[in-house]
Amino acid sequence: MHLSHAALFVTTRKSPSEADVADARALATRHDLPFAPRSGRSIAHHVRDTGRPAALVVKADAIHLVTAEARYGFHPNMAARRVDGRGLQGDHFLRSAMIGPGDHVLDCTCGMGADAITAAHAVGPSGRVVALEAAPILGEIVSRGLARHDKGPPALIAAMRRVEHVTADARAFLATLPDRSFDVVAFDPMFARPRAGGHGLDLVRAFAVDAVPDRALLDAALRVARRCVVMADGTPGPRLAALSIPVVSRDRRKWWGRLDVPE
């Protein structure tokens, strides 16, 4: 499922507050989307009325994508399994990038934020994690979730709040940064994610930009990194091989490669 801009409209929950309505109208204005006052009517009614098959339903703590098939929204389920109080020594991403307390990490492909949240837990309060998302609507949904989702253990909530989420294209954002400004720069492009999965991955597929990093982008990342650039790939790592990135960790679904910054 991939949704075009023309497929979307914005509305609220069935009985919204004045703040809900103002929030939803602002979202619609930011993205040049039609706003449909809920007026107690069903989403299906507004789908018929607008001729658009997908609603962005705005609430104080979340933005949901609602279609005829399902309701999708932010949930840190993948990160929650990685930040579960048992330690992070076995995490392929953290191990590949050698991420630890105090590190500064730039995640160039945020998606649902699993890597960014896991990194934020690992670096702790003395570290920093910036997560980029090129798709504006996905960025709105995930940014609100990171800032306001409040279900889960304290360590998970704290990690989510530490992620600095930015809606930006990685190539353009990297160009604005000084040399050696992050310890690690990371990529987990859409092609590395499994084709079947939960609603979180379905939400990413609805909006995300499926772009393969090229050598110029990796070189830009290496300029910004102090330690290394890491990239994930689907098994058996064909893009890592094509870009001459040495494989440093793997499981049955993903391989991770690392380029070390020359001393």
Residue 132's pLDDT band, with cuts at 50, 70 and 90, is very high
How far apart, in Å, are the Cα atoms of 19 and each of 15, 23, 25, 50, 149?
12, 6, 10, 23, 18
Whose tokens are 């991403």? That residue is: 93
Say which residue the tokens 């929950």 belong to.
13
Q: How many CB atoms lie within 10 A of CB 241?
A: 14
Q: How confident is the model at residue 201 (pLDDT cuts 50, 70, 90)?
A: confident
What does the block give as tokens for 28? 């619609």
- 63-66 and 71-72 strand pairing: antiparallel
Its pTM stands at 0.93
- Indicate the fold that domain 77-260 takes in CATH: Rossmann fold (3.40.50)
Average pLDDT over residues 75-88: 75
As a whole number, the mean pLDDT across the chain is: 91
pLDDT band for position 202 (cuts 50, 70, 90):
confident
| DSSP three-state, residue 229 | strand
Q: Which two tokens stand for residue 112?
A: 């649902």
What pLDDT is stored for residue 82 in this prediction?
A: 86
Percent of the chain with pLDDT over 90: 78
Q: Would you state the pLDDT for residue 208?
A: 72
Domain spans of the chain, in order of start = 5-72, 77-260
pLDDT digits (tens, 9 = 90+) for 165-194: 999 999 999 999 999 999 999 999 876 555
What's the whole-number mean pLDDT along residues 39-47?
94
Distance of CA 250 to the CA centre of its chain: 21
**Average pLDDT of 81-95?**
76
User: Backbone phi, then psi, for 119, in 5-degree steps?
Assistant: -65, -40
